[in-house]
Amino acid sequence: MWMLQERRQQRTSEREEALRFQLEHSRERGGLEALVLADQQGMIVASAGEAGICEELGAIAPLMSRAIMGMPLPPLLRGGEVVVRPLRLYGQELFLACVGGGVARDAHMSNSVNGVQRILAAN
């Protein structure tokens, strides 16, 4: 008989804290400068990284997800690779956005999307 090993180092029943743990874990593993979950108005739901960068990233995430030809970046994000992934949960559109990362960034973003969906579905 084998035992199931718990992968998560931190656990909480609080949704906001669980989201923060998820984003911090993905940011650290992916070498991301910042990782943000934002709503349709660009308000931050959860974030990991330096506060100023997270605020700018959250504010532009909904706009960037709709921009066909790209858009100019705010000062703190200039020179960084910004990626935005829209996700819909219970009819609400949210945006997971990151700056930085390397070749494994897409895998870490996908992992974060799955984690965010799991956390929000459970609460």
**For the chain, what are the domain ranges?**
15-122
Beta strands in 50-114 (DSSP E): 82-89, 92-100
Residue 7 has pLDDT above 70, yes or no: no
Q: Give me the residues paired with residue 86 across strands.
A: 95
DSSP state of 73: P
One-letter amino acid identity for 84?
V
Side chain identity at residue 15, one-letter code: R
SS3 2: coil
Q: How confident is the model at residue 123 (pLDDT cuts 50, 70, 90)?
A: low
Max CA separation in the chain (angstroms): 56
Homologous superfamily of 15-122: Dynein light chain 2a, cytoplasmic (3.30.450.30)
**Strand pairing partners for 95?**
38, 86
What is the value of pTM for the model shown? 0.83
Quick: pLDDT tens for 9-68: 556 668 899 999 999 999 999 999 999 999 999 999 999 999 999 999 999 999 988 877
